[in-house]
Amino acid sequence: MKRILIIMVALATTLKVYATPELQQPLYVVDGKAISIEHMQRLASDIESMTIFKSDEDVKRFAHLGDTSNGVVVLTLKSSTEEDLPFVFAEVMPQFMGGDLLAFRSWVMQNLRYPEGALEMGLEDTVVVQFIVDRNGYIEQESVNIIQSSYPDIFGTEVKRVIGTSPRWTPGVNNGRTVAVSFCLPITFKVEGSARENGEDSLKVEHPNEIVIQAYGSSGARQGDDAPIYVIDGVPSTAEVVKSLPASAIKQVVLLKDTEMLSYYKDYGNIENGVMIIHTNSLDANVENSPDTLPIFMDSGFEAFYKWLMQNLRYPVELRQKNLSSHMVVEFIVNSVGYIEIVDINTIKGTADKQFEDEVRRVMLSAPQWKPGVKDGKPVACRMTIPVVFGTVE
């Protein structure tokens, strides 16, 4: 997203617009005031983004500023002093693909997937998610916040994945300025035919914009010949034990079907129907400090993960503008299923700032699955350390 904005600014600094008597100009608006095209050209190097409004319903909000018959262009300046605190309501609410929140609701429904492991277990949840459409029309991954979820590391992770990939919106407008607007959306994951009576596992929210993701499958941990093998924190278990686990105890559920991964569990029984791995909140106590083989990322060594991390980290804009830098050491766990769990972040040089730490957590927790470390032929959780540097640290 930031690369796109930078390109837009670069174009604005080189493109010259010439007004002619025949050319019908839109109304240009900056900070709630109408400006001329000549003024707009002088501001070119300070423009962060432009938002165009054309529909009669949208442009009428700007009628008091001038002629809107040829549309309205609202400019957002890099040097704007307006606070980016989000609004709950704006005079012109953000629009998604030409529609309102219902259009976004439909897009989310098309892109959400019921977590496979959760479906196999018959887990249900209502996730309440809050997100911000910023002044430029983007939903930053950092702004997506799970307010409520019984299984935040399962259903909450899926909700954040989808909403964080949202296409650009047309931003909201207040008093002629583009503004950030906050939204709150409940999403219910429900397995058809299941009867979950434990209030801890399911909390229903009545809301006109509620999304219901309904899946069809098991109504609980399966038993019998078609059941997978259940493994809780590395120990073989049963469907009865799995069903008795409270929501607060479950940290992660993964259904393994990959042949290589399944081979680690062949001694536990028939693996033809897969293996259900369940990690509880006590997982950290089971870290192996001396594995026979270390975790492998994308069929390569540790350097491949470092390269992937550097390609995906983004320098927090506010901290870059202040010329702040940081050298951190990140200690993390690659668990026995190959997913990262952050353990600790220590700043050894430069600025210790939550924005740096949040960016590292965001990227590392979204990493693809590793091939886990192995001890005595079994996959194990391993502790690892990696340095992360933002800027140049003296």
If asked whether residues 177 and 292 sit together in one domain, one would say no
288 alpha-carbon distance from chain centroid: 30
376: left (phi over 0), alpha (psi -120 to 50) or beta: left
Total domains in the fold of the chain: 4
If asked whether residues 247 and 202 sit together in one domain, one would say no
**Cα–Cα distance measured from residue 159 to residue 213, given in angstroms and rounded to the nearest whole number:** 11
If asked whether residues 273 and 180 sit together in one domain, one would say no
If asked whether residues 157 and 239 sit together in one domain, one would say no
Q: In terms of DSSP H, where are the helices of 100-247?
A: 101-111, 116-121, 157-163, 239-244
If asked whether residues 87 and 166 sit together in one domain, one would say yes
Contact at 8 Å (CB) between 126 and 202? yes
Task: Going residue by residue through the chain, which has 394 residues, state the pLDDT in tens, using 9 for 90 and above.
Answer: 333 333 233 333 332 333 333 446 788 887 777 887 766 666 665 676 777 787 777 777 788 788 888 888 887 776 554 455 788 888 889 999 888 888 898 899 888 888 877 887 778 888 999 999 988 888 877 788 888 888 887 898 889 889 988 888 989 988 878 889 999 899 999 887 544 444 333 333 345 567 887 776 655 666 666 678 888 877 888 888 887 777 777 777 877 777 777 888 888 888 888 888 887 776 555 788 889 999 999 888 788 898 888 888 888 888 888 889 999 999 999 988 888 888 789 999 888 888 898 888 878 877 878 889 999 988 888 998 999 999 875 5
If asked whether residues 264 and 300 sit together in one domain, one would say no
Residue 21 confidence (pLDDT): 37
If asked whether residues 195 and 135 sit together in one domain, one would say yes
pTM of the model: 0.52
CATH number at residue 370: 3.30.2420.10
Q: Looking at 62, 77, 92, which one is the last position of a domain?
A: 77
Q: Looking at 77, 101, 126, which one is the last position of a domain?
A: 77
257 alpha-carbon distance from chain centroid: 25
The domain of 26 spans: 2-77
If asked whether residues 210 and 241 sit together in one domain, one would say no
- How many residues does the structure list for the chain? 394
Residue 120 confidence (pLDDT): 76
If asked whether residues 47 and 152 sit together in one domain, one would say no
If asked whether residues 86 and 168 sit together in one domain, one would say yes
Enclosing H/E stretch for 129:
strand 125-133
Q: Looking at 77, 100, 120, which one is the last position of a domain?
A: 77
If asked whether residues 383 and 357 sit together in one domain, one would say yes
**Cα–Cα distance measured from residue 170 to residue 52, given in angstroms and rounded to the nearest whole number:** 8
If asked whether residues 86 and 129 sit together in one domain, one would say yes
**Cα–Cα distance measured from residue 341 to residue 319, given in angstroms and rounded to the nearest whole number:** 26
Residue 24, Cβ density class (10 Å: 0-12 exposed, 13-18 middle, ≥19 buried): exposed
